[in-house]
Amino acid sequence: MSTLLEGFYSAFAALGVPWIVPRLIVMLVVASLVIVFISVSVMFMIWWERKISAHIQVRYGPMRVGGWHGWAQSIADGIKLLIKEDVIPAGADRLVFALAPMVVFAAALAAYVIIPFGPNLIVRDLNIGVLFYISISSLTVVGIVMAGWSSNNKYSVLGALRSAAQAVSYEVPLVVSILGVIMTAGSLSMIQIVEAQQRIWFVIPQFAGFLIYLTAALAECNRLPFDIPEAESELVAGFHVEYSGMRFAIFFLAEYANMFTVAAIATTLFLGGWRGPLLPPWLWFLIKTYFIIFVMMWLRWTLARLRVDQLMNLGWKVLLPLAFLNMGITGLVLVLRG
């Protein structure tokens, strides 16, 4: 891969083109590939979630658009959202209102940089990969608060404040639960963490960490039972209540993109990443990731919603101590084994 890139760069250098041009071309191609991948995968996930929820609820779900089991439903919905009128409420702060979905989406997009789909299928193997993900994922809440505040709507302000509280409470156990893996692997790089799981997937020695991560990740994605920032029956739609058309679609896209990221990180850190027999690595990676996404959808359509204070209690009083305990035990075991 890298030799191919070097060849590409030197070919341009031989032509006398400034060094920045080939690098820009590569960046553009990679960015477009990532965006295309996100869009396609999100459309698939939306359709999939509708089918799963339908079958859990003894229904069929979309059956008409596109013929086979309504596979084109998400495409039709996307087109519909694209051609809708762009409404900005009269009392809104126009600039912040317009920026908010972009911030949310940019944060979701940036996280894809460090997802290792295969041994060589990674945009950039940062040596601080996990740290990068953690910092980027907390950026989402800034966009959400911007959206809630600028809408000038009481329901969306409540949703945004809930979201901020939730993000602060759940970032901490999320990070601490990952620490066990990092200590065992001895690296922050995603590739090296996967390499470290050659003998055994980290889900076995780090099972508690895996569960804590999954719970905190659900809250991170604002999904049931932690969908308090957008609780439909209480806050109508929470922070994006005033958004419609394409701006709403971007929020939606970012939400599902986040879901994929969270599941992909779980796969990398706990389920051995792309490792698996027979099938190509990228396929193994997708299978594991979509399995985790399936579990998240399954939970959503089975459980009821927690209350704000219960959510805080769970985060600070249960998950965080457990995560620290897990970290301590991991450290002890590592020291004892030398």
Partner 1 sequence: MNQTDVIEPIHETMEEMYVNMGPQHPSTHGVLRLMLKLDGEVVTGVTPYIGYLHRCHEKIGENRIYTQVIPYTDRLDYLASMYNNFGYVLTVERLMGLQVPERAEYMRVILAELQRIASHLIWMGTFGLDLGNFTIFMYCFREREKILDLFESVSGQRLNYSFYRIGGMPLDFPESFLTECKAFLEWFKPRLPEYDAVMTDNIIFQKRVQGLGKLDQKTAIDYAISGPMLRGSGIKWDLRRNDPYSIYDRFEFEIPVGSTGDVWDRYMVRRQEMDESVKIVEQALRDLPPGEIMGKVPKKLRPPAGDMYSRVESPRGELGFYIVSDGSEKAYRYKVRSPAFVNLSVLPVIGPGHLVADMVAILGSIDIVLGEVDR
By the criterion CB under 8 A, which residues form the site for partner 1? Answer: 53, 56-59, 154-155, 158, 162, 224-225, 227-228, 231-236, 301-310
* Closest C-alpha to 245, from 87, 28, 52: 87
Judge if the upstream peptide bond of residue 225 is cis by omega within 30 degrees of 0.
Answer: yes
Q: What 3-state class would DSSP assign to 4? A: helix
Which residue from 144, 135, 136 is spatially nearest to 99, judged by alpha carbons? 144
Nearer of residues 105 and 226 to partner 1, judged by Cβ: 226
| Residue 86 or 232 with smaller CB distance to partner 1 | 232
Closer CB to partner 1, 125 or 234, in the complex: 234
Least distance in Å: CB of 278 to partner 1? 36
Give 99 or 165: the residue with its C-beta nearer to partner 1.
Answer: 165
DSSP assignment of 91-160, as one string?
Answer: TS-HHHHHHHHHHHHHHHHHGGGG--SSSS--S---TTHHHHHHHHHTTHHHHHHHHHHHTT-HHHHHHH
Task: For residues 250 and 245, give the distance between their C-alpha atoms in angstroms, rounded to a whole number.
Answer: 9
Shortest distance, position 235 Cβ to partner 1, whole Å: 8
Instruction: Choose between 53 and 135: whose C-beta lies nearer to partner 1.
Output: 53
Closest to 226 (Cα-Cα) out of 156, 313, 149:
313
Min separation Cβ 162 and partner 1, Å: 8
> Distance between CA 232 and CA 226 in Å, rounded?
12
Least distance in angstroms from the C-beta of 150 to partner 1: 17
Provide, rounded to whole angstroms, the least separation between the CB of residue 225 and partner 1. Answer: 6
Residue 291, H or E segment: helix 281-300
Indicate the residue among 49 and 77 with the shorter CB distance to partner 1: 49
User: Among residues 190 and 228, whose Cβ is nearest to partner 1?
Assistant: 228
CB of 163 to partner 1, least distance (A): 13
The Cα 3–Cα 22 span in angstroms is 14
Q: How far is the CB of 313 from partner 1 (least distance, A)?
A: 10
- Nearest alpha-carbon partner for 259 in 82, 115, 118: 115
